[in-house]
Structure 1
């Protein structure tokens, strides 16, 4: 490799890095406005006029999926992205879950929105400094986190199936929030699917996995808390299930932090003496 070629490669690397941060900032802002803004709007409308089409449980579930899982995974890329590829992975998994739920549930808006956002996120993956790690998982599986994810899979699958049936029975599908009632059911199914899959991603301990662990725990706790307060509205699994979701989310984060401490602690004197 000539010196001129090496200089060009370095220059291209700097340009690509700048482009990555600019695009990550744009997507973070766009996704944040979309998911947070829509949640604030729909919750506000419900508080003024309690209509049957949306409610705070499904609205906060939409927030948990869109803001806590998808957007948060992109926001953390704005600092030291080389060590946080799990954040991009969780955003893509969240969008894939939304698309699959939209497809199975027969809801055009979640499906179309997912596809558009996936294209935008794919550009970010192509620019990512650690893009070669995107299709890889961690080298060490956390058995406790994997067990918690598998434990959650049974009720999450049952809930997702129920929501998808209701999505298909909710009437016509359309754009621009005019059919939000059915769309919310598909989005709740996507949330349930994403929590389980991302729990396993966190268990695999890919670079930046703690972001995913906290996102999973927070998403479960937010949705569960809303279900405790409003157990009778559509999309809510009830108070008991809501309490279990909160407990599971808190436990997942606590176990993740313990796992992090265990893997970060330096070996003791006895261990060093034996090495």
Structure 2
């Protein structure tokens, strides 16, 4: 059987696609390795940090909050190992989180952050979703968008305050602790917008964002007097907001599914021969 030019081109394209996909998974694994082996030491503080007040001292809240940020971006990379085409929103949020932290860190002269940001960029360049990484959903949820815009006011105010504190030159500023706090606030806001505009896979991102906000809110309640803590009241409000955010997402998902099945049923009924339209 003669091999036509079109068959050859198709075979070449398929081979390149497979090579790119293998390269994608390799980069994801390498990125996870970098995260775990260089920043993974922070992850135990997600739990142990609450019991190490004496050891961590005035930096206790910062260490706990930074551990939650590391957990968020690490999970964002980890979930790309399974059906990455359906995890677009989570990657978008991870990229934005790292881009924000990188910009802030470079501003303060910390170039080490590039060790984490560059692999995340490579994941995007090789991602099976391709150009869909640059898009959001075709519709939006008014309820989720409303909740996100409401949260934007305190989140931007908090981010601005932490950014200003970095210029004070105090002990926290010397360790660069305020910039991750700015990144956390802006990441939650960015993730909220991605969920509101229903980017592909927004449901998973909603849960990750909700857990992120609940954790930081809980830490603020437990450690209300430490630097960068939002305090008891705002910590509690963060938890309430997170619950409402996830609940609104679940309602949106159910409404979309219900609408989809309704359209499918209507289409099938209209296609029945002899059935009046």
Question: Rg larger in 1 or in 2?
Answer: 2
Distance 1:58 1:150 in 2: 26
Distance 1:194 1:5, change over 3 A: same
Q: Deviations over 1:114-143 (max 9, x none)?
A: 433222112111111112111111111111
Matches within 5 A, 1:86-125: 86-103=89-106, 106-109=107-110, 112-125=111-124
Distance 1:101 1:204 in 2: 26
Matches within 5 A, 1:157-176: 157-171=156-170
Give the length in aligned residue pairs.
262
Aligned partner of 1:175 in structure 2 is none
Moved more, 38-47 or 137-146: 38-47
Distance 1:247 1:72, change over 3 A: same
Q: Deviations over 1:29-84 (max 9, x none)?
A: 322444442243693994452433x11x222221222212x222111111111111
Given that 1:107 and 1:168 are in contact with CA atoms closer than 8 Å, whether structure 2 keeps it comes out as no
Matches within 5 A, 1:235-274: 235-265=228-258, 266-267=261-262
Matches within 5 A, 1:214-253: 214-253=207-246
Structure 1, unaligned runs of 5 or more = 173-178
Residue 171 (structure 1) shift = 4.7
Say which of 76, 80, 92 aligns to 1:77. Answer: 80
Aligned partner of 1:49 in structure 2 is 55
Distance 1:261 1:143 in 2: 15
Residue 231 (structure 1) shift = 0.3
Structure 2, unaligned runs of 5 or more = 271-276
TM superposition score normalised by structure 2: 0.85
Establish whether residue 24 from structure 1 lines up as the match of residue 28 from structure 2. yes
TM superposition score normalised by structure 1: 0.86
Distance 1:51 1:134, change over 3 A: same
Aligned partner of 2:273 in structure 1 is none
Aligned-partner SS, 1:49: helix
Distance 1:121 1:50, change over 3 A: closer
Residue 27 (structure 1) shift = 1.3
Q: Deviations over 1:97-128 (max 9, x none)?
A: 2123335xx5333xx24433222112111111
Distance 1:44 1:131, change over 3 A: same
Given that 2:166 and 2:173 are in contact with CA atoms closer than 8 Å, whether structure 1 keeps it comes out as no
Distance 1:98 1:119 in 2: 12
Distance 1:250 1:29, change over 3 A: farther
